[in-house]
């Protein structure tokens, strides 16, 4: 498993992608499904491709476009993201987008935003 090979705790991985370590446990055990956005964030946090994360032959998915942008904004965002070569910066961008999306979902459902305390 990639996380273990990197000697990364579930808590630390969760921090990198904006979820709790319990959520990472659920993803790893298969008891909780995850979205493509979360899968991309986890792959970014582990500095690997989605294909490698899913243990597909030859890294899988690398030669396959898994997402076709539906709007001009999505196309611009995807294009700009591909221009970022620094893995740490890519992880930061993914985590930011995932957190903003989570805030949007919480807001749309009428739930108050969560606050993280140091």
CA–CA separation, 95 vs 43, rounded Å? Answer: 11
First-to-last C-alpha distance (Å) of the chain = 30
Q: How many helices (H) and strands (E) does the chain have?
A: 7, 0
What pLDDT, on the 0 to 100 scale, is given for residue 113? 57
Residue 26 burial (CB count, 10 A): 15
Note the CATH number of domain 2-108.
1.10.260.40
How many CB atoms are closer than 10 A to CB 112?
A: 7
Q: Which helix (H) or strand (E) holds 15?
A: helix 10-17
Per-residue pLDDT tens digits for 12-61? 999 998 889 999 998 888 888 888 888 888 988 898 888 777 776 554 44
């Amino acid at each position: 498993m990639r996380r273990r090979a990197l000697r990364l705790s579930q808590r630390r991985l969760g921090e990198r992608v904006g979820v709790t370590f319990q959520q990472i446990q659920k993803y790893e055990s298969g008891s909780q499904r995850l979205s493509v956005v979360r899968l991309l964030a986890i792959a970014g946090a582990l500095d690997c491709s989605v294909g490698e994360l899913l243990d597909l032959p030859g890294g899988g998915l690398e030669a396959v476009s898994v997402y076709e942008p539906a709007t001009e904004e999505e196309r611009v965002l995807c294009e700009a993201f591909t221009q970022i070569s620094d893995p740490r910066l890519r992880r930061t961008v993914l985590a930011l987008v995932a957190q903003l999306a989570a805030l949007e979902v919480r807001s749309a459902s009428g739930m108050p935003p969560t606050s993280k305390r140091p």
